[in-house]
Amino acid sequence: MTRPTPLERGSLRSRVAAAVTVAVALVWTLVPLAWMALSSVKPSEQVTAATPDLLFRPTLGNYRALFTGANDLAPYIWHSMLAAGAAAVLAVVLGAPAGYGLARTRTRGKRHLSFWIISTRMAPIAAVVLPLFLIYRRLGLLDSVPGLVLAYLTFSLPFAIWLMSAFFAQVPPALEESALVAGCSRWQAFRYVVLPLTKPGLVTTFVLCLVFSWNDYAFALVFSGPDSQTLPIAASQLVTQTGIDWGQLTAIGTIVVVPMMLVGIAVRRWLVTGLTLGAVTGE
């Protein structure tokens, strides 16, 4: 991020106004998350107390309950990591070359091709589930992590192609031309010249695909089974006939959120520069 010079940052008053705005936004953003984390370490009778309780003896009981007994959460976490991770990697691996091709191609139907790619992401989930389910059954993909990966690709891949093509479009063609003059093949020019330049874009794409896959509920509900359930499914399982165990639910919520938070924090710098390079700067 380039920092604005003091001159542009505006008057003291506008800076104070900015600080206040950010503070308010932070409260709005963080209160629900903090309350969730706090509730997850409360004794269960205090979780649903009529008056919010800030004084309590912290307990890990809710977390312990999630990892012992009939529905141990550990495999859910593992499936989620495998499926979302693989889907994000594949989306980038397939989406980057396709995005490059799309950015550079001179086909007449390019406009339509590009629009078709985005439109695949708009498909209403509830309508496409039945046909996909039947295809999956034919191919034996139900209740398997590869099946989930494929399902996640239905929304991650178009997103990746589309975003990456925008990043590649920003790389001046002159760079490749000089590489070609220097004797590189097209592939080498792509691999050694263009790709390194779009690294922030790759990271951004990877993270956003990871987030969308990790958070998916609708597809996971249909395509997962005893051997491939994911975390959002585990969360919905706590909605039972005789009530919701809010203590365990907030614990699961925390578990679902924390890894993505860490990923988000780890690549935040890349996220900002990535989008900067890709979507904005022209030259």
Partner 1 sequence: MTAPAAPAGAAAGPTRTAPRPRRPGRLPGFEGRMMTPGLLLLAALSIVPFLAIIVMSLARVRLLGGVGLHWVGADNWTRFFTDPDLGWAWIRTAVYFTLTVGLEMLAGVGLALAVWRLARGRNAALTLLLLPMFVAPVIVGLLGRFLTDSTFGLYTWMLRQIGYHGDIMGSKTSAFTAVVLMDVWEWTPLITLITLAGLTSIPASLREAAAIDGAGGWSMLAHIILPSISNVLLVALLIRSMDAIRYFDVIWVTTGGGPADATKTVPVRLYETAFRFFDLGYAAAIGLAMLAASIVVARAFIRVLDREGLTR
Partner 2 sequence: MAVHRPSPADPPPHPTAPAHGTRTPATPLPRRTVLRAAAAASGPLLLGACGTRKDAPRRNTGDPWRQFAGTTLNFISENTAPTAAIAADLRPFTRLTGIRVNIVTLELSALVQKVALDLASGQAQYQVIYADPYQVLAPYSKGLVDLRELAADPTLPPLPGGFGDFIPTQLDAAGRFAASDKVFALPYDCPTMIWQYRRDLFDKYRDRMAADLGFDPTPGEDSTWEQYYAIAKWFTDNADDVPYGTGHQAKQHDSLMNDFSNALWAHGGSYFDDDTAVGRLGTIDPGPCRLDADAAIAAAEFYRRLLSVADPASRTWDWDGVGAAFRAGRLAMCPNWHEFAAGNEAAMPGKVGYAPLPKGPARRAGMYGGTGIAISANTLPNERRAAWLFLLWATSPDTQLRGLASKVGGGTPTRRSVYERGDVKAAARRPSPMPNLLTTDAVERTWRSENIGLRPKIPMWNECDTAIYTEVSRMLAGDASPAEAMRSARKRFDRIIARGWAA
List the single partner that 117 binds among partner 2, partner 1, none, CB under 5 to 8 Å by kind: partner 1
The span from the CA of 277 to the CA of 256, in Å, is 30
Q: By CB under 8 A, tell whether 191 contacts partner 1.
A: no
For residue 182, which amino acid is it?
A: A
Residues 108-147 that bind partner 1 (CB under 8 A): 110-111, 113-115, 117-132, 134-135
195-to-171, 187, 224, 254 alpha-carbon distances in Å? 10, 10, 35, 36
Residues 254-283 that bind partner 1 (CB under 8 A): 256-257, 260-261, 263-265, 268-269, 271-276, 278-283
Taking CB under 8 A as the criterion, the residue among 59, 154, 188, 237 binding partner 1 is: 154
Residues 95-154 that bind partner 2 (CB under 8 A): 130-131, 133-135, 137-138, 142-143
* 142: CB partners within 8 A, 6+ apart: 133, 136, 223, 225
DSSP letter, residue 243: E
List the single partner that 177 binds among partner 1, partner 2, none, CB under 5 to 8 Å by kind: partner 1
Q: By CB under 8 A, tell whether 188 contacts partner 1.
A: no
Taking CB under 8 A as the criterion, the residue among 41, 66, 73, 103 binding partner 1 is: 103
List the single partner that 206 binds among partner 1, partner 2, none, CB under 5 to 8 Å by kind: none
Cβ closer to partner 1: 35 or 192?
A: 35
Candidates 1-9, 57-65, 70-78, 141-149; binding stretch for partner 1 (CB under 8 A): 1-9
Question: 70: exposed, middle or buried (C-beta count within 10 Å: 0-12, 13-18, 19+)?
Answer: exposed
For residue 229, which amino acid is it?
A: Q
30-to-5, 34, 35, 206 alpha-carbon distances in Å? 30, 6, 8, 25
Name the 3-class secondary structure at 179.
helix
- Taking every pair of Cα atoms in the chain, the longest distance, rounded to a whole number of angstroms, is 74
The span from the CA of 33 to the CA of 37, in Å, is 6
For residue 194, which amino acid is it?
A: V
The span from the CA of 78 to the CA of 214, in Å, is 11
List the single partner that 72 binds among partner 1, partner 2, none, CB under 5 to 8 Å by kind: none
Cβ closer to partner 1: 64 or 112?
A: 112
Cβ closer to partner 1: 63 or 100?
A: 100
Q: By CB under 8 A, tell whether 182 contacts partner 1.
A: no
Q: By CB under 8 A, tell whether 53 contacts partner 2.
A: no
For residue 111, which amino acid is it?
A: R
Query: Which chain residues interact with partner 2 by CB under 8 A?
Result: 45, 48-50, 69-71, 130-131, 133-135, 137-138, 142-143, 221-222, 225-226, 229, 233, 236-244
